[in-house]
Amino acid sequence: MQWTWYISVLLWLIVANSCLAQQTADTAANEKTKQILKYITELPLQGKVLSGHFAGYSPDTFNTNQIDEIARQTGQIPAILGCDYACGWNYQASPHFIIDYSCNPSLIDHWNNGGLVTVNIHLPNPASPNGGGYKDRMNLNFADLINSNTDTGKRWILFLDRMAQGLDNLQRAGVTVLFRPLHEMNGDWFYWCNQDSEVFKNVWRHMFNYLTYTKQLHNILWVYSPDQSRRSPSSYYPGDSYVDIVALDVYTDDPNSMNGYNEMLNLNKPFALGEVGPSTTNGQFDYNRWITTIQSRFPRVAYFLAWNDGWSPIRNQNAYTFFNHQRVINRGKININDNTTPSGSTILYNFFNGIGEWRGSNIIGGPWQSDEFIFQSTNSLKMDIQLTQSGHYMLYTQQKPTFKVNGHKRLIAQARVASWGFANNGIITAKLYIKAGSSWKWYDSGSFQLKSNTATEIALNLNQIPAAELNDIREIGMEYTSSANGGQTSVYLSYITVE
């Protein structure tokens, strides 16, 4: 006798702005800065990535000549323009000469023409009274950076004050900055590299607090950017309250070999490539390898910053197809206020930032955020099931009655079943449903047979539901039904939208 089993996947429906919004590390960040973080967070959900290019060290090498050359060769201008405020190899006593923000007019112009900007800073060693030493530890005690009673600590504050002047100049111009200090800290080539991890975290936190609260800079998105070629890139992470975006600096001739991607994703922040380029600067690197690898293996990359000179796309191969790839967003195509997917659907849930407020019963594993089933560059919800006769397996959340979907036509979800276990011995179907009104009346999509090798789109017609009940949604879920008794398998759910 045929029997059925049920798994109810109940979704916490929230409007798109709430569901995808990331809280800025600076809780007093200005509105534009908050909007930009939200925009960057959502880009991978749309299958898009922002382009970027470094333009040099201010004042020694900074210029936009290579940006102009990119425009001539490709017809595109990178979305993000990068500058470094310090030439840490220069020997000068005064921070006024060591730290230079004369690149700001170019950054402001880029911003005003529809771009974004990023600033990193190769600071000289504060243990040296005459500058220089950015690759030399000298006699530095790294903890002295935050000890104001030491000469090193006093000089460090002068560095921060000078940096703050440049960042405030951008703030007054209305510019949000992707700020990437103390990068590649897990390496061994800068004086801030390979320090005690707890001391490093305290130095980062001190910098954050000083620039944010003492200097009142509320236009900064803080980017934590270790190097992919060293182990444990997250070991220096100062905490969620001090970071907006996590990144990796990656120089390799084989983009598929990038290390640390999953470790960084586990920090649950938007992910980027803080610096990118080939490891061999002979002009033979095919930059198309990067964009195809991002698309196939690293879809959570929200932006990249290609390095200049011998690492630049225009000094290598296929710059035109790289910048004109359908996934790449260049300057002039940034739409900070766009909250919709390319199809016009509003994303309700994408499992990009975890599983939300889910509860479950009678599930042998999960639910988990999973990348085993990816749709439109988003993760899925996965659960493992032990099938027993008359078994019911529940995952649920119950939406507040005030939630309204009135005016929308369809509720849509993507579902799949694993290729192993029970799925090989029978058919699994799924229904997308809602329960509405004080009587919790059931409405569903009808049954759709699931596949193990591709997504099945399941749509619920909202036009069949009275408007009053659409204004009183009590529960939303997916009911999976099996055609026969069996053992174990996994089911997946992804990309919940309304249109």
Handedness of CA 56, 67, 114, 15 (dihedral sign): negative
| CB contact at 8 A, 20 and 45 | yes
> 198 an active-site residue?
no
Nearest 10 degrees: CA dihedral of 287, 290, 293, 297?
180
Catalytic residue chosen out of the listed positions 31, 42, 69, 184: 184
Phi, psi of 352, rounded to the nearest 5 degrees: -75, -35
C-alpha distance across the termini of the chain, in Å:
40
Rounded CA separation 316/278 (Å) = 9
> 499 an active-site residue?
no
Rounded CA separation 170/220 (Å) = 10
| CB contact at 8 A, 244 and 222 | yes
Catalytic residue chosen out of the listed positions 275, 469, 475, 479: 275
**DSSP assignment of 71-136:** HHHHS---SEEEEEEEETT---SSHHHHB--TTHHHHHHHHHTT-EEEEEEEPPPTT-TT---TT-
Count Cβ neighbours within 10 Å for each residue of 355-372 and write b for 16 or more, e otherwise: beebebeeeeebbbbbee
Name the residues annotated as catalytic: 184, 275
